[in-house]
A and B are shown apart, each in its own frame.
Chain A
Amino acid sequence: MKKTRITLLILLTLAARAPLAAQSAPAFERDEQGHVRVKLGHGAKVAVDNTTTGRIVVEGWDRDYVEAVATSGRGTEYVRARSAVGPEGQVVALTADYGSSPLPSLPTLSGPFAEQPGQKPTPAPTPAPTPSPRPAPAEATPLWRFFRGSEEVHLNVKLPRHAELELIEVVRSEVEVSGMLTPVTVSGRRSAVKLRDVGAVEVRTERGPVEVDGASGLVDVITTDGHVHIRNVKGDVRAVSLSGRVEVRCVRGRVNVSNTQGAIVLAGVDGDVDATTVNSDVTFDGPLRGEGRYHLKSMSGAVEMGVRRNPPGFTALLSSYRGAVESDFKLGPRQPPKGPAGTRLLGRHGDGRAQITLDSFDGHVKLSRLTQDSAEGCR
């Protein structure tokens, strides 16, 4: 009787865990061309990685499964595909590797990942395969890997637009993500990052250019040494670069940018603007918002703001301690400084609601009228 109870208990426990087990083992399909496909469960996340210095390209599409392929100069390479169920749900991990690599789990991924190559895949509308020979495996010796290490394997992943991407963490790989509705987070050391039409963006790099064209949420970019180019953003933008040009165009939210070296170029910003640099110039072109705040500052560079012919009313304070101050608008009498306070020009145009502050310690400051709006090309 007691044995029967114990057996029943075990059976019940196994039955209870069955759905979880099914969830933890998603169906992977690997075709002759080296494509790996997996259907994502609800709320599943996708992690992409590259053991080489090759590119990682992620594209959102309208299908409900993930497809990944790795290629190099010698043909199709291997994509490690694993899945795990963690505290935050299911995670599907896809990693580019050499076709000849052995199959131990990768040290960069932790958790109970397990590849399920033998499992029957969930039927998916896969495209008709075209004949393509699988690359001949190279010698998998350490010496070969040492010399072969310079070969780049590129990972190309297509996934549903609504799928959540895990943090993309790379050292030297370039990262390109496009067509996603969800946030994208990238951490790189010497990586070029290119994001197009994505959700919110968070990028941290040490070196390499960062380009964001089209984002529906907040864009937050911090880089030590690299140019930052951001455009067509529906949310706010924060960009910090120690050394590198920062260019921000067509932003509906507020913009906060700063750097040490490299020009700051702003155009077509609807929200408030705060831009600070030490060594370089700051320029702003575009329409003013009626109650906007525009604060542009440089330590030793020039500060110039160009506004359209018929801007809303604004109050402007233009000042430079050791440089010249110039305005195309009549802003009232130049304020004679009482002491050695440099040059200041304070005045009001129209109702004076927008606030403009242009300041430089050592450079030229100018508020000019634009004949053409440079923000007209915004999406």
Chain B
Amino acid sequence: MKCEECLPLLDLYADGELSPREAYDVAAHLGACASCEARHRGLRREQALYLSYECEPPESPAFWDDVLTNIRAEKARPREAAAAAWPRRLASLLSALSAPRFSPKLTAALLLVAVVLTAAVMRYFGPTPEPPLTQRAEVRKEEAEVLPTPPAADEQGPAEGFRAAVNNSESVGGRAVVKKAGGPGEVKRTRKAQSSGVAEEASPDRLVRDAEQKYLAAIRILSRDVGRQRTRMDADTLARFERTLGVIDKSIAETRAAARRHPRDPVAVQYMLAAYDKKVEVLRDMARE
């Protein structure tokens, strides 16, 4: 046995808690190693010292008599005395609040932090208007993405969306963050609520927003993929595609305005979705070029 093996076992050896085999090995090592033996002797001395202390004070015969006397006196004290204790307790509480560790400033700061934390937690776990990109989780693989809010996506014109993707920017639209992890078109949403698909009882308004978000997500993915292809396209083709996208974006803006005016009109909504669909189609053609 070496010293490194012996030293951890010394406490147990001194307490007699080692197995016979281990105790034999330790004893053999102590006989051959002066430093470990010195350490062992020190332990034994400490043990002897602790054992020499009186652990429990001797109870005097009058101890329990005093306890009983005090209990009886407490019970006999009138209620007024208890009531009179309230101001003292209140004062004690106020003094505790006014103490440096519970100063008004500190209390206000703590309250503010609590409010902010609550708001953050509710925002994170609360319902979100963003839809899942797809109901079929099995066909999605990696890549985390947060979709933009509809107004941000609206404000993002054709050129902006396209250029943002072309530049491989991590900030597309309002608050989109695309973490690139692999091949094209593989997306997994990070938020837990977005993996369950669109609820069947969702309102038509909600469904329309979800559908729009789905198209916007697809457009962003395609724009990014097209951006990777862009250097391989000739200038004429690229210009032609961009002109087409501009026309489609205008159509999207117009149909979207109509759908916003008549949100429960299925025909207006279908026109808007058809415009989005056309953009997806063109971007897919571009990706294939």
Chain A interfacial positions (CB closer than 8 Å to B)? 206, 222-225, 240-243, 258, 260-261, 276, 278-279, 297, 299-302, 319, 321-324, 337-342, 344, 361-364
Contact = CB atoms under 8 A, between A and B. Distances in A.
Contacts of B140: 322
A224 B211 contact: no
Contacts of B197: 279
- Chain A facing B: main interface SS: loop
Interface string B223-250: 0010011001000000000000000000
B208 A361 contact: no
A361 B221 CA distance: 11
B133 A339 contact: no
Interface stretch (B12-20, B64-72, B261-269): B261-269
B153 interface: no
A167 B225 CA distance: 51
Interface in B270-284: 270, 273-274, 277, 280, 284
Contact of A338 (B269, B274, B288): B288
29 contacts: A224-B265, A241-B266, A242-B266, A243-B202, A243-B204, A258-B273, A260-B210, A260-B211, A260-B269, A261-B198, A276-B273, A278-B211, A278-B214, A278-B273, A299-B215, A299-B280, A319-B284, A322-B185, A339-B232, A339-B287, A339-B289, A340-B183, A340-B229, A340-B287, A341-B287, A344-B288, A362-B218, A363-B136, A364-B139
B134 interface: yes
A240 B270 contact: yes
B264 to A, nearest CB: 5
B289 A299 contact: no
Interface in B174-213: 183-187, 197-198, 200, 202, 204, 207-208, 210-211
A302 to B, nearest CB: 8
A297 to B, nearest CB: 7
A279 B229 contact: no
Contacts of A279: 135, 197-198, 207, 210-211, 214
Contacts of B269: 242, 260
Contacts of A242: 204, 207-208, 264, 266, 269
B92 to A, nearest CB: 63
Interface residues of B, number: 42
A135 to B, nearest CB: 39
A324 B141 CA distance: 13
A342 B135 CA distance: 18
Contacts of A342: 185, 284, 287
A223 B264 CA distance: 9
Nearest to B269: A242
Contacts of A278: 211, 214-215, 273
A297 B270 CA distance: 14
Contact of A340 (B133, B184, B200): B184
A300 B277 contact: no
Contact of B266 (A240, A299, A322, A363): A240
A223 B266 contact: yes
Contacts of A324: 139
A279 B207 CA distance: 9
Interface string B155-186: 00000000000000000000000000001111
B196 to A, nearest CB: 12
Nearest to A225: B204
A269 to B, nearest CB: 20
Contact of A297 (B198, B229, B277): B277
A297 B200 CA distance: 20
A297 B274 CA distance: 11
Contact of B186 (A241, A322, A364): A322
A242 B264 CA distance: 8
A322 B211 contact: no
B267 A240 contact: yes
Instruction: List the 7 shortest-distance A-B pairs measured between CB atoms, nearest first.
Output: A340-B184, A341-B288, A362-B134, A278-B211, A300-B134, A322-B185, A340-B225
B270 A300 contact: no
A339 B228 contact: yes
Contacts of A225: 204
A261 B214 CA distance: 12
Nearest to A321: B185
B280 A361 contact: yes
Name the residue in B200, B211, B269, B280 with the highest tally of chain A Cβ atoms < 10 Å from its Cβ. B211
B289 to A, nearest CB: 7
A249 B53 CA distance: 97
Contacts of A322: 134, 139-140, 185-187
A265 to B, nearest CB: 16
A297 B13 CA distance: 79
A83 B231 CA distance: 74
Contacts of A339: 225, 228-229, 232, 287-289
A261 B207 CA distance: 7
